[in-house]
Structure 1
Amino acid sequence: MNVNAAVAAAAAIAGVLTGVIAMLAFRWSERDQARPTRSSLHTEAVLPPGVDTVLSVLRSSAVVLDEADEVVKASSAAYALGLVRGGRLAVEPMLKMARETRRDGEIRQVDLDLPRRGTGRGDALAVSARVAPLGSRLVLLLVEDMTEARRIEAVRRDFVANVSHELKTPVGALSLLSEAVLDAADDPEAVERFAGRMQYEATRLTSLVQELIDLSRVQNDDPLGDSEQVGVDELMGEAIDRCRQSAGSKQITLVAGRTSVGGTSTSGTADGGLHVWGNRSQLAAALGNLVENAVNYSPARTRVGIAGRRVAAPGGDFIEISVSDQGIGISERDKERVFERFYRVDPARSRATGGTGLGLAIVKHVAASHGGEVTVWSAEGQGSTFTLRLPEGGPGRSGAESQERRGGSPSEDVDEELEDFEEAADSLDEAGEADPADHAAQAGPGEPTGPAEPADPDQHRHRRGSSEPGDSASATRSGEPPPASRATPATPSSLSPSSPSPTSFSSPSPSPFTTPRGLLRAPETAPEVLP
């Protein structure tokens, strides 16, 4: 009997213990489920109805804190910005502001600079934080990343300052020169000299304004509204004609040619030559800018080559038009910025030729708006090759097909746009532009204040970056190729094997003017210039 009673008592005790343990385990499980975790972004049960849905569609980084400053809800963007770490708000100023809002219920806002996490960069993230009460126990923190917006504003201010600076020089010079003309009214020679200088400054001002207009035009939402099929030979001929006078004055020989897919030199094809689809005036301006740059940055008695070829590619063939020179070349540092607005590789030479620093920026945006690109190969002291790569637009191809291959307007790519504007103000300081008063005061007695032959307006229309596609000179100067060659691409025999090499190659180093595929090369490789 005693044994049975003992067994019953033991069973009862065991049952009680089992029940207690089960109850404790159940409560422990409930507490774990109620505890917020980062993986679940904390439970939504404590949030007012609809709040989670609203937070999920906001572009701002969102963090919800409870009365113990624990994170109840946080968006992925909040973690990416480093606002939340270990389930708590990691930015002390924001945490302090949240506590104050919880205490008095007032909405607060603050602008902060946060260090970038794990980037090793010294710049900071500019954020705008706004805190508001959410119910009786919670606080909502919304953080907007303002870094890009502030950079856009700063870049726009720099651009306006750059344009103002560029416009100030010719306008100031015109003002001083007009006063000089009035003071020298009794001296016909002085009046003629100052009038020539005024003509030069007026032409420079016109060129700058026109290039700003062209740059704005190629950046609009539909730059190819007036697209058509354009022959590559025609574009090359216009570019050569545009620069013929300035090249002739420096005894620079302009040579043109075309190569096919395999690199074999041709004078024509069954379909009537190479074609691209696009805005004729924009394409002519872009190619003319490349040839004009090559002439302006080349020493006397050298050659500038221009050639085109068809390149097979998945999804459709491309046309490559390359311009090569034997000029001063471009350093590695300058190559990274050469397509920026107002950037000049050689400020002194650019001032002498009337360059504005907008020519290559126009080329880049024209290429992008046509679904292509522009690349550069260069070696200091030896020369450069710029290659314009565009989708083919020959017979059988419609403008709609070329539009599809564009893949969008360059104006939609804000980051790329801003990259061009970066450090534009610094480049003007490097250029060392002279004060307008110095422009008029540097000339001695009996000497013009501008470059040689200031009274010749056509000469000064050939500047780095000019965007007038129809700007062709009619005068023929010493060393200029015969007029008949304007419409006829150069043949291989017209290129002398003894011509100096504008670029360096891996050993052995053949002359680029004797290699089979001149001007045409893949980016970051030495160019082969003309057959």
Structure 2
Amino acid sequence: MTGVAAFVTFKLSEASSRAAEPPAAGPALPDGIAEVLTALPSSAVVLDNADRVLRASSAARAFGLVRGDRLVISELLAMARQVRRDGVIRETEIDVALRKFGPDSTTFAVRVAPLGSTGLVLVLAEDQTERRRVEAVRRDFVANVSHELKTPVGALSLLAETVEGASDDPEAVRRFAGRMQHEATRLTSVIQDLITLSRIQGAEPMAEPALVEVDSVIAEALDANQLVADAKDIELVSGGEPDVVVLGDERLLVTAVRNLVANAVAYSPDGTRVVVAVETSDGLASITVTDQGIGIPPGDLERIFERFYRVDAARSRSTGGTGLGLAIVKHVATHHRGEVAVWSQEGAGSTFTLKVPLPDPKERDSSGITTTLREASQ
């Protein structure tokens, strides 16, 4: 924004040096500057020596910084007057409460500069709200990653010291070695989930998705969770429409459904059932994972797809959860131009629904998948 301000200042000074004497009412905006201000992406306002707005960009008016011929943000007006008095360029960041943009404030990076010796002042304000939000998310992410990695690494270090001190006790060594293996597995899970999330988070939706058999996706996802489910006497059941084919990335879809099933098993009591089903409507395949678990409090429903967010952190860690599984599901859905939704009732269970596009019927028939499925069912 500094370069923009310098350019505009130069153009205004150059134009004002060629301009005729302004009328008594105050200096007019020099020729050519209106076009420059119109092209600026940031909010731009030019004030005359009586604090009247000579020119305001559409962004400045859209944000509500200007009403009529007045700059209505008191902090900006005070800066403009200071700059007019001493001719010193000022820069700062301010938070402005703008009702039209919701209850939260908007953060602006502001630069105020004098324009020649005519008393004109240029105010540039660039919306930094999204940048701040991204920085906050990045800080939280780094803090969460550090914590998630520090915990198993610290446990491994402590266990290694304990094993070293118990070298003459084979039973203790075996016990601590098992705990070390558990922590190493947890550390590997965090790293693998981070790699998966980073790979799909910034990726564009697939330009050329492949045809994927949903039955195969569900079968692989259930198989990956069978041992854990057996240990809790949880029955894994699949059902719904057979022979459904979707457009997508089979590996990512397996990851998403596997994560949903793993989440259902982790938060379900022993001896219950987890059902995975698929149905089609409105050009979408809906893969649902329903459990009879503890349910999710209403206040947590909107946040469960955030990275590292856990409804029950202690339980998640005890089951080996990384806090990234549902975030991965959300990004897989986005990557497929689909969506993921959740219904839950405390004490009754939850249903997660992953929706992905169906292929055009002609495309499906031409692939040979339909024919293969028909033959297999005969």
**SS at 1:326 equivalent:** coil
| Aligned pairs, number | 343
1:388 alignment partner in structure 2? 354
Query: Could you report, residue by residue, the CA deviation over 1:247-291 in whole angstroms, capped at 9, with x for unpaired residues?
Result: 1111111111123xxxxxxxx5xxxx1111211110000001111
1:188 has 2:174 as partner: no
1:356 has 2:326 as partner: no
Matched residues in 2 for 1:233 and 1:78: separation? Answer: 54
1:470 alignment partner in structure 2? none
Higher relative contact order (CA 8 A, sep 6+): 1
Matched residues in 1 for 2:61 and 2:354: separation? Answer: 43
2:371 alignment partner in structure 1? none
Higher helix fraction (1 or 2): 2
C-alpha contact (below 8 Å) 1:217/1:223 kept by paired residues: no
2:342 alignment partner in structure 1? 376
1:134 has 2:104 as partner: no
Matched residues in 2 for 1:223 and 1:75: separation? Answer: 35
Larger CA deviation: 55-64 vs 68-77:
68-77
Matched residues in 1 for 2:214 and 2:201: separation? Answer: 23
- In the superposition, the TM-score normalised over structure 2's length comes to 0.85
2:128 to 113, 136, 146: 146
2:70 alignment partner in structure 1? 88
Matched residues in 1 for 2:75 and 2:234: separation? Answer: 66
**Counterpart amino acid of residue 132 in structure 1:** A
2:90 to 100, 108, 120: 108
1:68 alignment partner in structure 2? 50
Query: Could you report, residue by residue, the CA deviation over 1:381-436 in whole angstroms, capped at 9, with x for unpaired residues?
Result: 011111111101376338xxxxxxxxxxxxxxxxxxxxxxxxxxxxxxxxxxxxxx
Give 1:154 shift: 1.5
Matched residues in 1 for 2:176 and 2:238: separation? Answer: 39
Matched residues in 1 for 2:34 and 2:124: separation? Answer: 13
Matched residues in 2 for 1:337 and 1:96: separation? Answer: 40
Matched residues in 1 for 2:204 and 2:128: separation? Answer: 29
1:51 to 33, 37, 43: 33
Return closer, same or farther for 1:346/1:92 CA change in 2, 3 Å cut-off: closer
Matched residues in 2 for 1:175 and 1:277: separation? Answer: 46
**Counterpart amino acid of residue 381 in structure 1:** G
Give 1:81 shift: 3.2
2:251 alignment partner in structure 1? 281
Matched residues in 2 for 1:302 and 1:110: separation? Answer: 59
Give 1:35 shift: 11
Matched residues in 2 for 1:112 and 1:326: separation? Answer: 49
Matched residues in 2 for 1:321 and 1:35: separation? Answer: 73
| Percent identical residues | 58
1:344 has 2:344 as partner: no
Matched residues in 2 for 1:62 and 1:156: separation? Answer: 30
1:295 has 2:277 as partner: no
1:252 alignment partner in structure 2? 234
1:524 alignment partner in structure 2? none
1:459 alignment partner in structure 2? none
C-alpha contact (below 8 Å) 1:128/1:143 kept by paired residues: yes
2:146 alignment partner in structure 1? 164
Return closer, same or farther for 1:56/1:35 CA change in 2, 3 Å cut-off: farther
Matched residues in 2 for 1:222 and 1:80: separation? Answer: 30
**Counterpart amino acid of residue 363 in structure 1:** V
Give 1:296 shift: 1.1
Return closer, same or farther for 1:179/1:307 CA change in 2, 3 Å cut-off: same
**SS at 1:396 equivalent:** helix
Matched residues in 2 for 1:179 and 1:345: separation? Answer: 33
C-alpha contact (below 8 Å) 1:82/1:117 kept by paired residues: no
Matched residues in 2 for 1:338 and 1:163: separation? Answer: 17
C-alpha contact (below 8 Å) 1:48/1:135 kept by paired residues: no
Matched residues in 2 for 1:331 and 1:394: separation? Answer: 39
Give 1:227 shift: 3.9
1:463 alignment partner in structure 2? none
**Counterpart amino acid of residue 387 in structure 1:** T
Matched residues in 2 for 1:235 and 1:90: separation? Answer: 58
Query: Could you report, residue by residue, the CA deviation over 1:100-122 in whole angstroms, capped at 9, with x for unpaired residues?
Result: 3334433222222222336673x
Give 1:86 shift: 4.7
**SS at 2:255 equivalent:** helix
Matched residues in 2 for 1:240 and 1:91: separation? Answer: 58
Structure 2, gaps ≥5 residues long: 1-22, 365-375
Matched residues in 2 for 1:234 and 1:329: separation? Answer: 28
C-alpha contact (below 8 Å) 2:203/2:335 kept by paired residues: no
1:240 has 2:222 as partner: yes
Give 1:223 shift: 6.0
Query: Could you report, residue by residue, the CA deviation over 1:36-91 in whole angstroms, capped at 9, with x for unpaired residues?
Result: 9xxxxxx9x92222211111111111111112221111123223333324522223
Matched residues in 2 for 1:353 and 1:224: separation? Answer: 33
**SS at 2:341 equivalent:** strand
C-alpha contact (below 8 Å) 1:323/1:385 kept by paired residues: yes
Higher strand fraction (1 or 2): 2
C-alpha contact (below 8 Å) 1:170/1:205 kept by paired residues: yes
**Counterpart amino acid of residue 304 in structure 1:** V
1:310 alignment partner in structure 2? 280
- In the superposition, the TM-score normalised over structure 1's length comes to 0.61
**SS at 1:339 equivalent:** coil
Give 1:228 shift: 2.2
1:326 has 2:292 as partner: yes
Give 1:335 shift: 0.9
Matched residues in 2 for 1:81 and 1:226: separation? Answer: 40
**SS at 2:362 equivalent:** coil
